[in-house]
Structure 1
């Protein structure tokens, strides 16, 4: 299981109480390398609690179908292939129970893309968790993956806050590009990295990667 990455705080639940004036969500993404095996979900929950996270976007769950699961402290929403396909890919969200009442909708787009909308006092937050095709996959599968994200983005209100997270299986390098890519990436940019940057530019997303 890879370590959680992209841990961010989002100020979404303002309160008139001085002690709770700036309550924030702690959000991370994680490639779990399968939740299908016994004990893997429990391990993920322990790490979520240890890191004091509210939401984890999950890649490579290897779980079949689209469903939700309740545990003692969390809810798991997941999207995977149907039973006629191999256990592969899979995406999802693990959220703290206190957030369940804020979930407007879950859209299990595919075994690579899932959408979750949270309602807050400051408006909606749209989360898109992804697991991109790896380098050995053909360009057609990559195009299909990005088209699935585009459909969700086009149907989402521009007034909503948007968080796209996950494993894009791309190397963006360390060259700054149009306020989209920073200079602190690792390795040289590859074709999938260029594809990701072009995608961010197309949708006008700043400071994406």
Structure 2
């Protein structure tokens, strides 16, 4: 399988950082304990476009890829489950908004990750889902 960018949840390292994994580059954001954590893995070609990145929270990391016409902002998130307290859920969405603040309005912004969403058959505004019949 050929991947340029892969979003990760439940990354096992503490704090935040970046590392080389063979020819790939991993950026990650974690807390001080081994829970939660997110990361973005880039192949060697895509990593060359990595302009900047910022760990926002143990559940959110943002990366900016520099391109010729428009830059690409990638926000990787790991949302709390529906069993979580409302305060924790609200904090997560506040951090997603904060991550968007690191990007320019003309950047293409992709929010991805484990959003612990419950998706039905109805269309929800501003949400894209992959249909099971698509190849």
If the length of structure 2 is used for normalisation, what is the TM-score? 0.88
Of Structure 1 and Structure 2, which has the larger fraction of its residues in helix? Answer: 1
Residues 179 and 96 (structure 1), Cα distance of their counterparts in 2 relative to 1, 3 Å cut: closer
Map 1:140-179 → 2, pairs under 5 A: 140-178=87-125
Worse-matched range after superposition: 96-105 or 51-60: 96-105
Please name the residue that 1:62 is paired with. 12
Three-state SS of the structure 1 residue aligned to 2:120 is coil
Aligned: 1:138 with 2:88: no
Aligned: 1:100 with 2:43: no
The count of aligned residue pairs is: 132
Aligned: 1:110 with 2:72: no
Map 1:1-150 → 2, pairs under 5 A: 51-82=1-32, 86-150=33-97
Contact 2:13 2:30 in 1 (8 A): yes
Higher relative CO (Cα under 8 Å, sequence separation at least 6) belongs to 2
1:163 deviates by: 0.8
Contact 1:65 1:80 in 2 (8 A): yes
In the alignment, structure 2 segments of 5+ residues that lack a partner are: none
Contact 2:61 2:99 in 1 (8 A): no
Contact 2:4 2:43 in 1 (8 A): yes
1:88 deviates by: 0.5
If the length of structure 1 is used for normalisation, what is the TM-score? 0.58
Residues 118 and 137 (structure 1), Cα distance of their counterparts in 2 relative to 1, 3 Å cut: same
1:174 deviates by: 1.1
1:182 deviates by: 6.3
Give the number of the structure whose alpha-carbon radius of gyration is greater.
1
Three-state SS of the structure 1 residue aligned to 2:71 is strand
State how far apart, in whole Å, the 1-side matches of 2:63 and 2:13 are. Answer: 18
